[in-house]
A = this chain, B = another copy of it.
Amino acid sequence: MNRSNSPETGFIDPSGANAEAIRDLTEDVLDQLLGQLGAAEKRSPLPDESTAPTGTIPESPRSQTDLLDDLETIAAGSMNPAHPGYIGHMDTMPTTVSVLGDLVASAVNNNMLSVEMSPVFSELEVQLTETIASEFGLGPNAGGVLASGGSLANLHALSVARNQAFDVHDDGLAGLDGEPVLFASDVAHTSLQKAAMLLGLGTDAVVAVETNANSRMKPSALNQAVEQAERDGRVPFCVVATAGTTTTGNIDPLPAVRDVVDEHDLWFHVDAAYGGALVFSEAERDRLDGIEGADSVTFNPQKWCYVAKTCAMALFADLDILQEDFRVGAPYMRGDDAIPNLGELSVQGTRRAEVLKLWLTFQHLGREGLGQLIDESYRLAAVIRDRVADQDALELASEPEMNIVCFRAAPDWCPPDERDALNGRLQRYLLSRQDVFVSLPTYRDTRWLRVVLLNPFTDKTTLDRLFDGIDLFLEAERP
């Protein structure tokens, strides 16, 4: 390469000519990065003020020293899910091998668009999605495709459900008799509305089904909603059950929901983006009973399987349906292999090999290791739940079913209409004084504190800091 103005390390020379310079640069980046991650508990779980470098494009190359300085500032100002006090969102510290898997995937830069562009990775993705579909009991013809995030997996599943019900692949929805509608609980994820908007159904096509006090869909309400929609001349085609609601981590009663789905002959999608990981815990996997009846499942290993994001998938009980009701062919790709060109069967076209970090994580932790992480997070959740329940000034949003506990301060001395503000102040207090980050979602029109126990280094001392902080805060605020 003789591009005079490019830095010597611009690309990794395939003849090894710049091996030493590449080695030096990568070592420098690695030293700095591992130094920061190995001291992650020393900075805040969430920096209160971050400065991004300017998003401009310099005329000439900048020095590697400058770039390393900037990289250090960037990492230091970022959300810090590696801190044991980061217990606020479904964002994990990633497994070591998933980070290394991403490094390798980027370096070899294969493309999941076609088998020719990713011979090993396409085969691995087909196999591993079959394995996981089988874990969920989806049957002998099941499999799926990875997606860069759960919103895309939900979009993929709902597009197939829509196409299968209405035969609109070629002709579209305009002029269709009757308005297609789908059903999901009133606390289901907003990616369903986004998918409905994108799919030309409109956000109003997602009918919100009533939930009980613990955020689980009421099957009787689902049945009524479907029948009401039919009476209104709308056309039900799909029900989405949630296994792991975003705010409180609850699971819809899958068998009872499925009974309603079957009665009305609808597509049954289970959004197990979060809760799907339970199949890897012997102790907890029966919470997913009923998922085996799904037509499609969304599952995000980027959450409770600790895989660096993004890593999600749409699984289908009958994988052939992708060929029949989804596929859009690409004439510039070779297509004569036993393994399909995955880009023709998924929402994305070009995709990175996200299967590698997922596969490595399974190999490195094993089912046992993953199960133990899940089980341990249940134990911590039980501790929090009990401490909240024991304290008069606190209330639970919902009875926990996973490693998520949503609660808030509701002391009798604070009027109900001032409690949102109180909990907002409490959240900031916990972060600034106790190095504990909990999130502050809106749930049933009220602000709550939400704990998501996804950091393997979070332990009882972290929980003590949390509850000590709550006590100190309430003591200070009490009139």
Is the interface on chain A under 10, 10 to 19, 20 to 34, or 35 or more residues? 35 or more
Instruction: Check: A476 CB closer than 8 A to any chain B CB.
Output: no
Q: Give Cα A175–Cα B114 distance, bound, in whole angstroms.
A: 37
A55 and B130 contact, CB distance less than 8 A: yes
Task: Mark contacts of A420-439 with chain B using CB atoms, 8 A cut-off: 1 yes-contact digit, 0 otherwise.
Answer: 00000000000000000001
Contacts of A174 in B (CB 8 A): 173-174, 176, 178-180, 200-201
Copies of this chain, complex-wide, total 2
Q: Bound complex: CA of A49 vs CA of B97, how far in Å? A: 26
Contact call B119/A152, Cβ cutoff below 8 A: no
Q: Which of A29-37, A221-229, A256-264, A389-397 contacts B (4 or more CB under 8 A)?
A: A29-37
Q: Is A387 on the interface with B (CB-CB < 8 A)?
A: no
> Is the Cβ of A1 less than 8 Å from the Cβ of B456?
yes
A313: min CB distance to chain B, Å? 12
B109 touching A52, Cβ below 8 Å: no
Query: How far does the Cβ of A333 sit from chain B's closest Cβ, in whole Å?
Result: 8
Contact with B along A172-208 (1 / 0, CB 8 A): 1111101110000000001101101111111111000
Q: Are B1 and A457 in contact (CB under 8 A)?
A: yes
A124 close to chain B: CB less than 8 A: yes
Among B50, B302, B349, which residue has its beta carbon within 8 angstroms of that of A151? Answer: B349
For the complex, is A6 an interface residue (Cβ under 8 Å from B)? yes
Residues of B within 8 A of A70 (CB): 363
CB-based nearest B residue for A62: B363
- Name the distance in Å between A248's Cβ and chain B's nearest Cβ: 10
Q: Does A283 have its Cβ within 8 Å of any Cβ on chain B?
A: no
Min Cβ gap A112→B in Å is: 9
The verdict on A41 contacting B14 (CB below 8 Å), with A119-B79, A170-B203, A366-B5 known, is yes
* Chain A positions 82 through 103: 1 when the CB is less than 8 Å from some CB of chain B, otherwise 0: 1110000101111111111011
In the assembled complex, 12 residue pairs joining A and B whose CB atoms fall closer than 8 Å, in A order, are A11-B95, A52-B119, A57-B362, A60-B367, A62-B364, A81-B109, A92-B109, A98-B106, A155-B347, A172-B200, A331-B443, A334-B440
